[in-house]
Amino acid sequence: MTAEQPRHPALAATDPELAALVRAEEQLQADTLRLIPSENYVSQAVLEASGTVLQNKYSEGYPGRRYYEGQQNIDLVETLAIERARSLFGVDHANVQPYSGSPANLAVYLAFAEPGDTVMGMALPMGGHLTHGWGVSATGRWFRGVQYGVRQDDGRIDFDQVRELAMKERPKVIFCGGTALPRTIDFAAFGEIAQESGAVLVADVAHIAGLIAGGAHPSPVPYADVISTTTHKTLRGPRGAMLMCREEHAKAVDKAVFPGLQGGPHNQTTAAIAVALKEAALPSFRTYAESVVANAKALAEALLARGFDLVSGGTDNHLILMDLTPKEVPGKVAAKALDRAGIVVNYNTVPYDPRKPFDPSGVRIGTPSLTSRGLGVEHMAQVAEWIDRGVAAAAKGDEEALAAIRAEVAELMAAYPAPGLTV
Ligand SMILES: *Cc1c(COP(=O)(O)O)cnc(C)c1O
């Protein structure tokens, strides 16, 4: 794009400083190999929908039941998003208003528990999410969080432990799903335990919603009372969230989101969610979801061949959790070095991590973004080689090697333009 015709002309005129930062971020997203498994590139259509005048409108309430007038168009926008969510995931009811994944989960607690009640989820250092009852989160302070984990020997969920804990503690709500789980979630097993113990089962599929929509991960619909998801991870929509449930819970969920927790919905986000859901219903999205998993499996194989220690020994989904202990590099040192090499990852605790959460042993990577750019299994040996060289360079403090990788990465990424970017 030329200097005379900036991408955001009004923004560039009003606030050149901010426009330059947006431009720089776009360049960074173009040049780097983005491996953070919770990130993605949205389509130009999703970007456009999220930057519309829909954002000027207040719409407290739900379609047909609003507290403000002038909803002729907004009602139709939200109804489109709801109907597309119902059809894509095969659910009775969808609420598309939660501002993001954490408020969506808070709404679930509001719907099904009282302060001080016992709730159950996977421990954060085991791969769970903060909002699954972890102590520093409001959900762990206002509720009594009891936490399950994975087995130390194979990194898999220990369902005997989950059942025992649920029967002993009788939680009101059980969360399954997480942020660092490289393996298929057995929703049927969780469903059985929730039924036995009388708990509401919440499947938090924030990370894998796109894989479920694309048929690359089993659906929780037959087993979960409520499904919580963000819309911006593998689902490739705007930053937002949805709650889906059976008809019997529809009223409780809606009441908890509004007026329980939120005011006006972000209509521009609702519109962009509707667009993303339309895209996710296309046959090409099934191909995308399958490729995300095929790429992750190929990358895991290539990393294993290079002596990397992967939690649970590999992956079934889009995500890989590496324990760098055998490489003798702390996760944070590796993550920061890889960032300088143009490979964007995040440091992460591994189960039973002897190191501190702010300086853990692991690095978490994933394939949603690179797959959106069209990279395939044939590229994964190269990606593994860069990671291997980058981690070795981190151990030695070899900045020259990192700069060399950065140049190679930028060259490959230039050949695979990202959706939504103009650079
Ligand atoms: C990302 C994520 C969330 C939170 O989403 P935010 O939009 O960051 O608040 C909740 N649960 C799980 C499992 C997640 O992966």
DSSP codes, 52-64: SGGGG----EETT
Do 236 and 95 lie in one domain? The reply is yes
List the chain pLDDT tens, one digit each, 423 residues: 445 577 899 999 999 999 999 999 999 999 999 999 999 999 999 999 999 999 999 999 999 999 999 999 999 999 999 999 999 999 999 999 999 999 999 999 999 999 999 999 999 999 999 999 999 999 999 999 999 999 999 999 999 999 999 999 999 999 999 999 999 999 999 999 999 999 999 999 999 999 999 999 999 999 999 999 999 999 999 999 999 999 999 999 999 999 999 999 999 999 999 999 999 999 999 999 999 999 999 999 999 999 999 999 999 999 999 999 999 999 999 999 999 999 999 999 999 999 998 999 999 999 999 999 999 999 999 999 999 999 999 999 999 999 999 999 999 999 999 999 998
- Is the CA virtual torsion 343, 344, 348, 351 positive or negative? negative
CA-based R_g, the chain, Å? 22
Ligand 1 pocket test target in 179, 190, 208, 235 with most atoms within 8 Å of CB: 179
- Examine the residue annotation and report whether 7 is marked as an active-site residue of this protein: no
Contact by Cβ (8 Å): 73, 203: no
User: For the chain, what's the residue count?
Assistant: 423
| Residue whose CA lies nearest to ligand 1 atom number 6 | 101
Do 93 and 208 lie in one domain? The reply is yes
The binding-site residues of ligand 1, defined as CB within 6 angstroms of any ligand atom, are 38, 100-102, 105, 129, 131, 177-179, 204, 206-207, 230
Q: What is the pLDDT of residue 4?
A: 56
Residue in 31, 78, 204, 254 annotated catalytic: 204
Q: What is the pLDDT of residue 7?
A: 85
Q: What is the pLDDT of residue 423?
A: 86
The pTM assigned to this predicted structure is 0.97
Do 142 and 275 lie in one domain? The reply is yes
Q: Which CATH number does the domain housing residue 227 bear?
A: 3.40.640.10
Residue 58 lies in a domain: yes
How far are the Cα atoms of 6, 22, 45 from residue 422, in angstroms, in the given order? Answer: 11, 12, 13
- Examine the residue annotation and report whether 239 is marked as an active-site residue of this protein: yes
Domain boundary among 280, 299, 333: 280
Whole-number Å distance, alpha carbon 269 to ligand 1 midpoint, is 16
Residue 24 lies in a domain: no
How far are the Cα atoms of 42, 46, 48, 180, 282 from residue 420, in angstroms, in the given order? Answer: 6, 8, 9, 27, 18
State which ligand 1 atom lies nearest to the alpha carbon of 178.
Answer: 13
Of 62, 199, 156, 172, which Cα lies nearest the Cα of 113? Answer: 172
Residue 158 lies in a domain: yes
Whole-number Å distance, alpha carbon 125 to ligand 1 midpoint, is 15
Residue 4 lies in a domain: no
The residues with which 204 forms a beta bridge, in sequence order, are 228
| Residue whose CA lies nearest to ligand 1 atom number 3 | 101
Contact by Cβ (8 Å): 238, 42: yes
Do 37 and 54 lie in one domain? The reply is no
DSSP code for 308? -
Residue 9 lies in a domain: no
Do 376 and 333 lie in one domain? The reply is yes
Q: Which amino acid appears at position 82 of this protein?
A: I
Residue 156 CA, chain-centre distance (Å), reads 20
Q: Which amino acid appears at position 277 of this protein?
A: L
Ligand 1 pocket test target in 97, 102, 181, 364 with most atoms within 8 Å of CB: 102
Q: Which CATH number does the domain housing residue 344 bear?
A: 3.90.1150.10
Domain boundary among 247, 280, 313: 280
Domain boundary among 233, 248, 280: 280
Do 164 and 231 lie in one domain? The reply is yes
Residue 25 lies in a domain: no
Whole-number Å distance, alpha carbon 171 to ligand 1 midpoint, is 21
Contact by Cβ (8 Å): 112, 173: yes
- Examine the residue annotation and report whether 60 is marked as an active-site residue of this protein: yes
Residue 26 lies in a domain: no
Whole-number Å distance, alpha carbon 72 to ligand 1 midpoint, is 32
Token reading at 393 = 């360079």
Long-range CB contacts (within 8 A, 24+) of 55-59: 55/266, 55/267, 55/268, 57/267, 58/264, 59/264, 59/265, 59/267
CB atoms closer than 10 angstroms to residue 186:
16
Residue in 230, 234, 270, 371 annotated catalytic: 230
- Examine the residue annotation and report whether 408 is marked as an active-site residue of this protein: no
Do 273 and 296 lie in one domain? The reply is no
Q: Which amino acid appears at position 394 of this protein?
A: A
How far are the Cα atoms of 307, 320, 332, 362, 392 from residue 326, in angstroms, in the given order? Answer: 8, 16, 15, 11, 12
Ligand 1 pocket test target in 205, 230, 261 with most atoms within 8 Å of CB: 230
Residue 87 lies in a domain: yes
Do 302 and 411 lie in one domain? The reply is yes
* Residue numbers of the domain that contains 153: 49-280
Do 89 and 230 lie in one domain? The reply is yes
The residues with which 230 forms a beta bridge, in sequence order, are 241
Do 81 and 189 lie in one domain? The reply is yes
Rounded CA gap, 253 and 305, in Å? 47
Total domain count, the chain:
2
First CA to last CA distance, the chain:
7
- Examine the residue annotation and report whether 79 is marked as an active-site residue of this protein: no
Whole-number Å distance, alpha carbon 100 to ligand 1 midpoint, is 7
Do 104 and 232 lie in one domain? The reply is yes
Whole-number Å distance, alpha carbon 124 to ligand 1 midpoint, is 12
Do 237 and 169 lie in one domain? The reply is yes
